[in-house]
Amino acid sequence: MADRPIPIVIDTDIGDDIDDALALALALNSPEVDLRAVTTVFGPVATRTRLALKLLAAFDRPDIPVGTGRAAPLFGPEPKIAPNQAVVLQDGERLPEPSPLGADELILRTAAEAGASFTLITIGAMTNAALALLRDPGLAHRAHLVVMGGVVGTPMAEWNIRCDPEAARLCFDSGIPITMVGLDVTLQCKMTREDVEAVGARGTPPTALLARMIEAWTGVTKNTPTLHDPLAVAASFRPGLVTRQPRRVAVETRGEFTRAFTLATQSDAPNAEVCLGVDAKAFLRLFMERILAR
């Protein structure tokens, strides 16, 4: 590779939708990025941390620190969620210890060590990212933020934004360079049953764990995975997969019926590169090649 890998942190709510685990796997199998840390967010964060540690161990990467983040949104109670993929965790199993640093502290330390090329990828609620920016507003001038969240073409509140609209608004208003990968593009990226079967048939420790996690998720949803979060990871190092347009993104926090809507308007003062299209075939081909690589 001519260029150095991009140092990244992935902030995740792993354990609910399967795409978080698949996004981590894509990052771990992609030489274009250097996964420096993982942080967990929203709800049962201790369980999410254990799931991330188990996945990293399956990839033989116990050296990557996992920081446990905030369970509750900036305003409001902690949600009561039971991650379906927690069934892969065993009582008494030995996993690496989580980082002694909280998620926001780990993000800031990793950013300081990585330098100007640092990228934070949020694939869950944006609470930890907001807390890091509150702790050190200068992060906005030293990092790039890739957000799996929001939607442009449909009047609705996307899940990751809805989990903590105030945190999302703080991030979009902070001045940090943002790439927004929303439902407009991610819904076009779906695994087939043949793809899922290929993961199960691969038979390596990483794919065996991924297959068990997919099975747990499928048992609840009866669907095949949509690759929301993996597309955000891919967009961080393969920008040609998506088409983007500078927009001014505002997050609605006070509307009675429109709370957590993302309003992405054309403006002379854009605050984000908003993804509007995707080469889904090229992305799915890349994703399957990387997931089956080991």
- Residue 140 amino acid letter: A
The total number of structural domains in the chain stands at: 1
- The pTM of this model reads 0.98
- Residue 122 within any structural domain of the chain: yes
In angstroms, the first-to-last Cα distance of the chain is: 20
- Residue 21 within any structural domain of the chain: yes
Distance separating alpha carbons of residues 285 and 167, to the nearest angstrom: 34
* Average predicted confidence (pLDDT) for the chain: 97
Q: Which residues contact 182 (CB under 8 A, 6 or more apart)?
A: 148, 149, 150, 151, 152, 158, 262, 274, 275
Q: In which domain, by residue range, is 117 found?
A: 6-291
| Confidence (pLDDT) at 1 | 39
CA 92 and chain centroid, separation? 28
Give the rounded percent of residues in the chain with a pLDDT score beyond 90.
97
Stretch 41-45: mean pLDDT: 98
pLDDT digits (tens, 9 = 90+) for 264-293: 999 999 999 999 999 999 999 999 999 999
Read off the pLDDT band of 2 (50, 70, 90). Answer: very low
- Residue 1 within any structural domain of the chain: no
pLDDT digits (tens, 9 = 90+) for 130-166: 999 999 999 999 999 999 999 998 999 999 999 999 9
- Residue 284 within any structural domain of the chain: yes
Q: Domain containing 158 — which CATH number?
A: 3.90.245.10
- Residue that is written with structure tokens 């996945």 in the block: 55
Confirm whether 144 is a catalytic residue.
Answer: no
pLDDT digits (tens, 9 = 90+) for 217-228: 999 999 999 999
Buried b (16+ CB within 10 A) or exposed e, 33-64: bbbbbbbbbbbbbebbbbbbbbbbbbbeeeeb
pLDDT digits (tens, 9 = 90+) for 105-120: 999 999 999 988 999 9
Higher pLDDT, 69 or 116: 69
- Residue 249 within any structural domain of the chain: yes
Distance separating alpha carbons of residues 119 and 73, to the nearest angstrom: 22
Catalytic residue, chosen from 36, 50, 169, 228, is 228
- Residue 80 within any structural domain of the chain: yes
